[in-house]
Structure 1
């Protein structure tokens, strides 16, 4: 059996509100409750939200989506008036990126976690892409 990521724990100020944000903006199945966790299923992996009043360290979550899903999600981001960026450093506000000749955009969840939607995996376009991923250093 191949190794897969089963779940990761995500800290939230309001775990149910965060779950509703994630499921509605990304278009995921409704969340479920599992003891003290609110669980958001993302394919085979779950984001297990746990509520905290302690300071939350921002984490980054990238979702690989189809072109049609990107259009739907990006439409919901725009409809809600959420700030978005073409880069993880938030230096290109109001833009999307074309890395790997796909599309990508970054936006925040209610807890300050940085979310990303991409239509192609990082580096998949290689250096021959019209818009190579900057991580390739080309």
Structure 2
């Protein structure tokens, strides 16, 4: 059997706020929560679990592949909320979208400081 990505725990300073942010940005589906986890699913039934870890955590990078229509809605949400965003991971092109890899992409930070990348075409 080919391996498939199933779930990840995303370290969160406020799991409920993080889940709300990801639900709106990624149009994710709410799932029952348990223990320390606030849960959502995205395409392919991938479970995103938000929890506060017992230790300090470094920011991580999470990239999400969106279709063009979803990207348009997500970008409208980002700009309507006046969220800082960049066309590049070095944050040298603020307020822009890139057109690399045959699609579009944008970078932003989530409420816990993780680096998010939204793209419309996969790199491979």
Corresponding position of 1:112 = 113
Q: Which has the larger radius of gyration?
A: 1
Q: How much does 1:2 deviate?
A: 1.8
Where do 5+ consecutive residues of structure 1 fail to align?
A: 124-138
Q: What TM-score, normalized to structure 1?
A: 0.83
Extract structure 1 runs of 4+ deviating beyond 2 A.
52-56
CA contact (8 A) 1:15 1:49 kept: yes
Q: How much does 1:87 deviate?
A: 0.9
Relative contact order: is structure 1 or structure 2 higher (C-alpha 8 Å, sep ≥ 6)?
2
Task: Provide the secondary structure at the position in 1 that maps to 2:22.
Answer: helix
Task: Provide the secondary structure at the position in 2 that maps to 1:55.
Answer: coil
CA contact (8 A) 1:19 1:31 kept: no
Q: What TM-score, normalized to structure 2?
A: 0.91
Counterpart-to-counterpart distance in 2, 1:23 and 1:35: 20
Counterpart-to-counterpart distance in 1, 2:94 and 2:85: 6
- Aligned residues between the structures: 123
Task: Provide the secondary structure at the position in 1 that maps to 2:73.
Answer: helix
Q: How much does 1:56 deviate?
A: 2.4
| Aligned-CA RMSD value | 1.4
Corresponding position of 2:76 = 75
Q: How much does 1:31 deviate?
A: 4.3
Provide, for residues 31-83 of structure 1, a one-character-per-residue CA deviation record: whole Å limited to 9, x for no partner. 43022211121222212111136322101111101110000000000000000
Counterpart-to-counterpart distance in 1, 2:118 and 2:49: 19
